[in-house]
Structure 1
Amino acid sequence: MNENLFAPFTTPSLLGLPAVMPVILFPTLLISTSKGLINNRLVTIQQNLIQVALKQMMMTQNTKGQAWSLMLMSLFIFIATTNLLGLLPHSFTPTAQLSMNLAMAIPLWAGTVITGLRFKTKNSLAHFLPQGTPTPLIPMLVIIETISLFIQPVALAVRLTANITAGHLLMHLIGNAALALSINNFFVSSLILAPLMALMILEIAVALIQAYVFTLLVSLYLHDNT
């Protein structure tokens, strides 16, 4: 039972070799590009959505932070398409793996911290010790602020992993219950399909929201260090 329940989260293989890289690169095929002077409807919709998300993320950024706009939007599109592809039957969701999310979160977080230490050294170091702190509490506050700084990439990765994993498991459990009841009671099984479809719509929204939240938090870390 446990193997069937967690089967969607196991790394797929092709001819005995891990197929993670092809799965990660596959979402790029879904991004439509226009080769002519006139865009089609799909490209226009994509561009409008990207412009709205980019405007929200870059609203509070200065010139140095806006230089990260291309990278942040590429990250948003990648996570969103990967999450949506994971909702397809018999598919694999790379963002449900903690290692995958840590591999994205740690370099981005480290880049924002290094940027802050390079361009705003005094302000970055001042975050470790708030002004007016009593002398006996200085060592404790420095340790707490240091831990909170290093916990940021872990929180990014765990948040994305937990939300994607929870939704997939819930859909898997409800789907198995509907399939098992369809053998004995078709009417009850049809009633279960209604919340399953509602959950599917909710998961589509969660896939997009989590991609936006992940990218927005990286943008906020960048804003604090530029």
Structure 2
Amino acid sequence: MTTMPSPHPTTPPDATDHPVRGTRTGRTRRVLTAVLVTLVALLTLSGCARVQAGLAVQPDDTVDGDVVIATPGGAPDGKGPAITVPPELADDVDVAPYSQDGYVGSKITFTGLTFEQVSKLNLLGGVAGGRADLELRRVGGRIAVQGRADLTTVPVDGADVQLRINFPGEVVETNGEPDGGQVNWTFAPGEVGQINASVAATDPNAPSTVGWTLFLGALVVAAAGVAVVLAKRNRNPPVRT
């Protein structure tokens, strides 16, 4: 099987250049069950398959991306694996036909989803979606990524499974292949693939240091003004008549 390059997310070339789309909740633990690994179960149903995901984590902890799920000739019915989007995400997720290099299936595209919304896309994997998972957590100034893709039941020559994630910060540690702020994983059929990464990224919910700096600066100026006034009064006491 020819392995094609993974699809690029439908975001501008630099995924970190997106404007912030709004504030999120505090530093609570949020789980991202990635689309790629939750769709791995489809491989056991269709034999040879292509599952390629490109995700871009934005500075405001939202996720953009696209995912291709396809089989040779669109097996088993010529249309490829059936994809069902949860009703609550129908307005946020686009599903379009995909056909390239003899592979036929679907391409899922989404923009600005929260971690929680992306986790709901595990329904696309059906009841067997629990075979794999990806957890993404905000831990202060870092984004921690952990997960696994279990391909032990997939034929050794039967799959092209890739994951690419762009991060808005420096990749500090990973078991994937780092390239600047991007990490790539290629999963081998017949094995369990581990997903780990730690990324230094500013917490969008952290208090702004600019505001505190301006506030402290104003206090210093005010204190200096009071000191000047008091000094003048001490030098030139009022004349008593």
Q: Scaled by the length of structure 1, what TM-score is found? A: 0.25
Greater RCO (Cα-Cα under 8 Å, separation 6 or more):
1
**Could you say which structure has the higher helix fraction?**
1
**Could you say which structure has the higher strand fraction?**
2
Bigger radius of gyration, 1 or 2?
A: 2
Q: Scaled by the length of structure 2, what TM-score is found? A: 0.24
